[in-house]
């Protein structure tokens, strides 16, 4: 199967994002190879690492801060996809 055949047969793609260069490349790859495919972006909040990174000096709980950081990351990637012709969905 060629890349163009694959693009024709793929209806929906789940793309995990975590802010790493690899996830950045994954988003760029999806937009270039599957420009009209529905895309769902996924990021996960790790409670163990999230709590360990919380310094307690800023407003809100570690969970609130982690959620805000995740939403910011997803918003950035959604904007990147919206600049293309992809359809985007997300879940809360």
DSSP label of 39: E
Is the entire prediction scored with pTM above 0.95?
no
Over residues 28-76, the pLDDT tens digits come to 898 888 888 888 999 888 776 655 666 666 666 777 878 888 899 889 8
Query: What are the residue ranges spanned by the domains of the chain?
Result: 3-89
Q: Is 72 exposed, middle or buried (0-12, 13-18, 19+ CB in 10 A)?
A: exposed
Q: Which CATH number is associated with domain 3-89?
A: 3.40.50.620
């Amino acid at each position: 199967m060629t890349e163009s055949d694959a693009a024709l047969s793929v209806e929906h793609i789940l793309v995990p994002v975590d802010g790493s260069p690899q996830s950045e490349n994954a988003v760029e790859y999806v937009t270039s190879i599957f420009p009209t495919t529905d895309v769902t972006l996924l990021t996960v909040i790790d409670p163990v690492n999230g709590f360990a990174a919380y310094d307690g000096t800023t407003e809100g709980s570690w969970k609130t801060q982690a959620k805000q950081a995740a939403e910011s990351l997803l918003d950035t990637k959604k904007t990147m996809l919206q600049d293309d012709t992809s359809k985007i969905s997300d879940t809360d």
